A and B are shown apart, each in its own frame.
Chain A
Amino acid sequence: MIKKKIRSFVRSKSWLGIILPVGLILIWQLASNLELINASLLPSPARIWRSLVKQAESGKLAVNILVSLRRVLVGYALGASLGIVIGIITGLSKTATKIVSVLFELIRPIPIIAWVPVLILWTGIGETSKIIVIMIGTFWTVYLNTSDGIRNVDRKYVEVSKIFLKSKKIEITKVMFPAALPGIFTGLRVGVGSAWISVIGAELIAASAGLGFMISYYREMAQPSTMFAGVLVVGVIGFLINVILRRVEKRVLKWNTVK
């Protein structure tokens, strides 16, 4: 079983992706040992690792991770749901698309981070402002992909629904929605990426806990190795979220790949 997995891993050439990060860390460590890099600007990988372990042992790291993840979870769930619902409506109705078009095209180019001060002004420094920022970050990609997905459903499938005299409800839930699902999933996957970026951004600006807070706090404390540990964790968690969502997508869209 394990042997088989290793063999398929070797054959799939997935391991090629590991060469660059590992090589980079080795060179980085070597350069640090040779004192080619100023440690107060960029600590060595070993130094960062020690800070990370210390943070983990003190329990502070877990708290910061959980706080950020909880915000992402709530904001992402709200933003994605809203994106799917409004995406379906505008995907089905040209009138609805026209009604929202100008407003949406005006709001959409505003960078997510620009919302942070506005929302702090409106809702204070608490959880609400962060969750709304994540919601906005998630909403656009999910909305655009859902709307496009529904609009581009093959008319031939809809015709089958017509010939069997199906109600509008069945036509939407059993035909159009599943047909648009691959597109919707692309939106969900890209959306979780922007949700993660949004939460860190919001926490960098104003927060008393979370990974973004950890990064800015230890910069102020002049502890670059702990700050970099925070950056590293942000990257790793973002990577893991993407892996998990790909797995879910593969399972839900099994019909899209079975041959």
Chain B
Amino acid sequence: MAENNIISIKNLNKYFVQDESELQVLNNINLDIRQGEFISIVGASGCGKSTLLRIIGGLENYSDGQVLNKGNPIKGPSKNIGMAFQESRLFPWLTIFENVAFGISEGKKLSKEEKSELVHKYLKLVGLEEFVNAYPNQLSGGMQQRVSIARALIENPDVLLLDEPFGALDAMTRVNMQNEISRIWQHERKTMILVTHDIDEAIYLGDKILVFSNRPGQILEVIDVNLPRPRRRNSGYFERLRKYIYGKFFTEEEIKEEYNI
């Protein structure tokens, strides 16, 4: 039953029209996501995985098929679905406080105290309470990204979409951010959908991994990750899963060369 699923996608196709010729970006996507699940989507760049996420976020329309949120078709951005992008997209002219408060619904009439309490609650969740009065460009890239996650969560959406949110960060910060997201997910029990090209990241965070083909993007395989949390990146299962997914993108030779450490 689709109504049990927080997100339900049926026979979704998406074409870009380019100088009168059609370019297929997504090919027959079928997907059901349950409340509280963590879904990782991996694929090469340009495979349409970000487009799928933007369709779920209501930022992009689709050519045919169905995309439902709790049984209702998605026609545009919604309060139920929050989103964080590859760039933090914080407004440099607003303080951290004001940036997070930007996520609060316009119709909501909160007193100054209630607003402040709410902003502080979510800044605390991402561990940045003491930076309320700073400006975004006084913060590191990883910190900015955490603020953008606080902003996306402040209206308490059911679903959080993460569009390669750590792609622009250095390797160390990236691992820290993955731990952070894992902690927030366990704390808030939100449905999260993460688009990434980092296979380790997909395994570390996902309950399910969707492996995307090259354009036109379609789901090659859905892999259930049966690993207890918090996950160890060097366990044998993790290793085997990593190798298996690499095998979907590269031939055996390329894997050996790159991964004989």
Contact = CB atoms under 8 A, between A and B. Distances in A.
A pairs with B: yes
Interface of A: 156-157, 159-160, 162-167, 170, 174-175, 178-179, 181, 254-256, 258-259
Given A156-B87, A255-B93, A165 B105 contact: yes
Contact of A256 (B83, B92, B105): B92
- Going nearest first, the 6 A-B pairs with the smallest beta carbon separation are A178-B93, A255-B93, A163-B77, A255-B92, A160-B89, A255-B135
19 contacts: A156-B87, A156-B89, A162-B59, A162-B77, A163-B57, A163-B59, A164-B77, A164-B102, A164-B103, A164-B155, A178-B93, A179-B91, A181-B93, A255-B92, A255-B93, A256-B93, A258-B138, A259-B137, A259-B138
Interface string B90-113: 011110000000110110000000
Interface string B72-83: 000001110011
Contacts of B155: 164
Residue in A164, A165, A178, A255 whose Cβ sees the most chain B Cβ within 10 Å: A164
A178 B87 contact: no
Contacts, number: 54
Given A165-B105, A165-B106, A159 B93 contact: no
Interface string B145-166: 0000000000100000000000
B131 interface: no
Contacts of A174: 91, 102
A157 B103 CA distance: 13
B249 interface: no
A163 B105 CA distance: 11
Interface of B: 57-59, 77-79, 82-83, 85, 87, 89, 91-94, 102-103, 105-106, 135-138, 155
B59 A159 contact: yes
B150 to A, nearest CB: 13
A155 to B, nearest CB: 11
Given A156-B89, A164-B102, A165-B106, A258 B59 contact: no
B135 A166 contact: no
B93 A258 contact: no
A165 B83 CA distance: 12
A258 B85 CA distance: 23
Contacts of A165: 77-79, 105-106
A254 B92 CA distance: 10
Contacts of B105: 164-165
A163 B83 contact: yes
Contacts of A255: 92-94, 135-137
A166 B106 contact: yes
Contacts of A254: 135
Residue in A157, A163, A174, A256 whose Cβ sees the most chain B Cβ within 10 Å: A163
Nearest to A254: B135
A254 B57 CA distance: 33
Contacts of A167: 106
Residue in B78, B93, B136, B155 whose Cβ sees the most chain A Cβ within 10 Å: B93
Nearest to A162: B77
